[in-house]
Structure 1
Amino acid sequence: MIQFTLKCDRDHRFDSWFQSAAAFDKLKASGMVSCAVCGSTSVDKALMAPRVAVSRAPQDRPEPGALSTPSHPAEQALAELKKRIESQSEYVGMNFAAEARRIHAGDSPERPIYGEARPDDARKLIEEGVPVAPLPFVPGRKSN
């Protein structure tokens, strides 16, 4: 896994993880990389500082398999938001756009859902007046 600092054409900067540099290039070429702030698909790698690992004393290392706890209040809030959405909403996967339309039209029962949509599908939902919002995290099944 590799973390890149990215920048969109509106100068929004954000970090994202990719399986490899080639994976980033492939996703970018297919229009699957979008700005975390505004949704623009005009995204490039920004200048990054190298990250150097510092060896820690054995007592400072987490136990194998232990998850790290969020250290910053914003990280804690994001972790709580993710947990709440995933526990109180139905994951509809790549069917998000179609299911959101059915709910909006009254053809499917109203309920909280979350899932995945291509940026152009998300824009169409907004243009159609379907209330949607991007999530500031990747659904659990997509995380490592």
Structure 2
Amino acid sequence: MIQYSLKCAQDHRFDSWFQSAEAFDKLKAAGMVTCSICGCSDVQKAIMAPRVRPSRTAQPAQSDAAPEDQPQPPARLSEPASVAEQALSELKREIEKNSEYVGDKFVREARAMHEGDAPERAIYGEAKLEEAKQLIEDGVPVTPLPFRPGRKTN
């Protein structure tokens, strides 16, 4: 296993584990490496310091520094790093909790609700840019989300 520090085009920084360097390259090429904060798939490896472990027989170094002088461990991978990222994370959590994910059927469901052919409810999903523009031109109330829905797998 290898841990990489990553950064997306929006300059969000996060860490992720991969089976190998080749596994990272294959997943990235397939578009499956996405920002854990905004979902952007334009992700690059960030500069990082290597972590080298001493041998198992080496004695731990004694330090005179107080524990508060020691560097703190990094935040968990899933924790947002800034107030803005925390707000986006909370927004995503609320939308996912209070809305129905309809995936690529979003355009059809939104139009059916607008025309009265389906019961009104809170939905979110995915649409191509041209389809979303057409919904707006047709007066269907939609708004883009500042994140990508998590991929549903099963």
**Of 54, 65, 73, which aligns to 1:60?**
73
Give the whole-Å Cα distance in 2 for the aligned partners of 1:86 and 1:50: 29
What CA distance in whole angstroms lies between the structure 2 residues aligned with 1:74 and 1:23?
29
Deviation at 1:141, TM superposition (A): 2.2
Q: CA 1:80–1:117 in 2, change beyond 3 Å: closer, same or farther?
A: same
Partner of residue 32, structure 1: none
Q: 1:114 aligns with which of 119, 124, 141?
A: 124
Q: In the alignment, which of 101, 104, 108 is matched to residue 91 of structure 1?
A: 101
TM-score (norm 2): 0.57
Q: Distance in 1 between matches of 2:11 and 2:129?
A: 18
User: Does residue 131 of structure 1 match 2:144?
Assistant: no
- Residues 58, 68 of structure 1: CA spacing in aligned structure 2 closer, same or farther, 3 A cutoff? farther
In 2, Cα distance between equivalents of 1:15 and 1:23:
21
Cα distance in 1 between the residues matched to 2:117 and 2:45? 51
Structure 1 residue 60 displacement after superposition: 1.8
CA distance in structure 2 between the aligned counterparts of 1:142 and 1:54, rounded to whole angstroms = 34
**Higher RCO (CA-CA < 8 Å; seq separation 6+):** 2
Structure 2: gaps of 5 or more residues? 13-24, 32-37, 52-69
Q: Distance in 2 between matches of 1:59 and 1:4?
A: 24
SS of alignment partner, residue 92 of structure 1: strand
Separation in structure 2 between the aligned mates of residue 105 and residue 15 of structure 1, nearest angstrom = 40
TM-score (norm 1): 0.60
After TM superposition, the structure 1 = structure 2 runs for residues 75-90 of structure 1, keeping only pairs within 5 Å, are 75-90=85-100
Percent identity, aligned pairs only, is 51
Partners of 1:90 and 1:72 in 2: how far apart?
A: 28
Given the superposition, is the C-alpha separation of residues 50 and 80 from structure 1 closer, same or farther in structure 2, using an over 3 Å criterion?
closer
Choose between structure 1 and 2: higher helix proportion.
1
Which residue pairs with 2:82 in the alignment?
72
What stretches of structure 1 move > 6 A for 4+ residues in a row? 56-59
Q: Which amino acid aligns with 1:72?
A: S
Aligned pair count reads 109
